[in-house]
Amino acid sequence: MDFDSLIGALTPETYQKLADAVATGRWPDGKLLSEAQRSHSMQLVMAYQAKILKSDEPFTIGADGQMVQKSKAEQKAAWQQQAAIARFDHDDL
């Protein structure tokens, strides 16, 4: 199986487990990732984000493997399109 086929075969659940493992340095069962496992998992996570997810984050990795950075104007326009922020009074909490 080549790398692109591997990325295409990842389920969202598997991607999330890999992303959590990279972020915490541990597998879901609590075992530590080796440096090789962390490196390979990070490559898979970044490739999945680039090829499968359509992220609206300001910094992402594009499908060509290059870093994509949104300009301030693009970020501001995206924030203005989002739903309003919920506001609460102190007593509501």
Strand partners, 61: 67
Average pLDDT of the residues of the chain? 80
- Per-residue buried b or exposed e for 6-15, using 16+ beta carbons within 10 Å of the residue's own CB: ebeebeeeeb
CA atoms of 67 and 25, how far apart (whole Å): 23
C-alpha angle with apex 1: 16 to 62, nearest 5 degrees? 50
User: pLDDT tens digit string along 36-48?
Assistant: 999 999 888 888 8
Question: What's residue 82's pLDDT?
Answer: 67
DSSP assignment of 18-68 equals HHHHHHHSB-TTSPBPPHHHHHHHHHHHHHHHHHT-----SEEE-TTS-EE
Is residue 43 one of the residues assigned to a domain? yes
Is residue 92 one of the residues assigned to a domain? no
| Range from 4-13, 21-30, 53-62, 82-91 carrying the lowest mean pLDDT | 53-62
Is residue 16 one of the residues assigned to a domain? yes
Domain that holds residue 60: 3-81
Is residue 89 one of the residues assigned to a domain? no
Q: How many domains does the chain have?
A: 1
Question: What's residue 31's pLDDT?
Answer: 95
Instruction: Please determine, for residue 58, whether its predicted confidence score (pLDDT) is greater than 70.
Output: no
User: pLDDT tens digit string along 66-84?
Assistant: 666 667 777 677 667 766 6
Is residue 90 one of the residues assigned to a domain? no
CA atoms of 29 and 84, how far apart (whole Å): 38
